[in-house]
Amino acid sequence: MTAKIIDGKQIAKDLLENIRLEIIERTNQGQRNPCLAVILVGDDPASEVYVRNKKIACEKVGIKSLSYDVESNISQAELLAIVNKLNVDKDVDGILVQSPLPDHINEEEIIHAIHPNKDVDGFHPMNIGLLALRQPRLRSCTPYGVIKMLKATGIELKGLDATIVGVSNNVGRPMALELLLEACTITSCHSKTKDLEQKVRQADLVVVAAGRQNLVKGEWIKKGAIVIDIGINRIDGKLVGDVEFDSASKNAGYITPVPGGVGPMTVATLMENTLLAQKLS
Ligand code: NAP
């Protein structure tokens, strides 16, 4: 078997086009364009690329983006002051603080300070809690992007045995909640999991978000399984995922490439969240 490649780039493009059309419709009815404030702390090159891509997507769909590029030595209080100012600004719908933040910044406190209805990354405890209670509002962009991608591919999720590798607050945990919402039976794995191979081998759907190149071996993939590789590893200037792509493609029914898989979906769902945040305001 050779797996079908899930083209995240194309699916994201279609999603962005729908968002663009909806924004035109809303502005024709007198609404202003949605507005996303992006806070970038310091000059981490990878973060700069991510932020640039998000701003390009904003331009494509008609979302106004505001840039807050601040020095890496900004204090916790100064960063909180920016967030608080944006929280009460009626012209700002979404607030995004690009991670990672410098070590001296308490990231948790910053995320918790963002108003839940402006939390377009979907990281605030209120939004994660709502997802856990099956009342999703602003959903974590990457896991939500994975769900949208699977649905756009026409994959029936109900009842699938899903193994998720990675349990981080921003990716692995909300991914598990999203798949539970879709009535999958979930197994969440982390660095202390016993026999990861066996957990992957029994899965109909494998979602990997560990940030470890080649962690999941191609031979572990069950015949016909769906493989979603969220991992991004920079190896000699090249981006690779967490799954052995070539060998996994021989067993899987569907597989996502890196790059061009989950990454573009994350940006597209951020745009969707910004539009939703405007509706919530
Ligand atoms: P993270 O916070 O470092 O979490 C990694 C998770 O993987 C942790 O739960 C960790 O377990 C688990 N893990 C690490 N080594 C493992 C092993 N050998 N076996 C099993 N589990 C293992 O990273 P993250 O923020 O979730 O991101 C994960 C990856 O996704 C990164 O490569 C990141 O760049 C990528 N990412 C991609 C997108 C996208 O749009 N494509 C978006 C966000 C993130 P413990 O909890 O036990 O430590």
CB 275 within 8 A of CB 20: no
CA 17 remoteness from chain centre:
19
Alpha helices (H) along 182-231: 196-201
SS3 98: coil
Let me know if 98 is a catalytic residue.
yes
193 Cα: distance to centroid of ligand 1 (angstroms) = 14
Beta-carbon contacts of residue 32 (< 8 Å; ≥ 6 apart): 91
CA–CA distance, 80 with 218 (Å, rounded to integer): 45
Q: Is 191 in the pocket of ligand 1 (CB under 6 A)?
A: yes
The pLDDT of residue 267: 98
DSSP secondary structure code for residue 269 in this structure = H
Give, for all 281 residues of the chain, the pLDDT tens digit: 699 999 999 999 999 999 999 999 999 999 999 999 999 999 999 999 999 999 999 999 999 999 999 999 999 999 999 999 999 999 999 999 999 999 999 999 999 999 999 999 999 999 999 999 999 999 999 999 999 999 999 999 999 999 999 999 999 999 999 999 999 999 999 999 999 999 999 999 999 999 999 999 999 999 999 999 999 999 999 999 999 999 999 999 999 999 999 999 999 999 999 999 999 99
CB 74 within 8 A of CB 41: yes
pLDDT single digits (tens) 36-95: 999 999 999 999 999 999 999 999 999 999 999 999 999 999 999 999 999 999 999 999
Let me know if 89 is a catalytic residue.
no
Quick one: tokens of 93? Answer: 């719908």
Mutate to test the pocket of ligand 1, among 54, 230, 256, 265 (most ligand atoms within 8 A of CB): 230
Q: Which of 93, 119, 121, 204 is catalytic?
A: 121
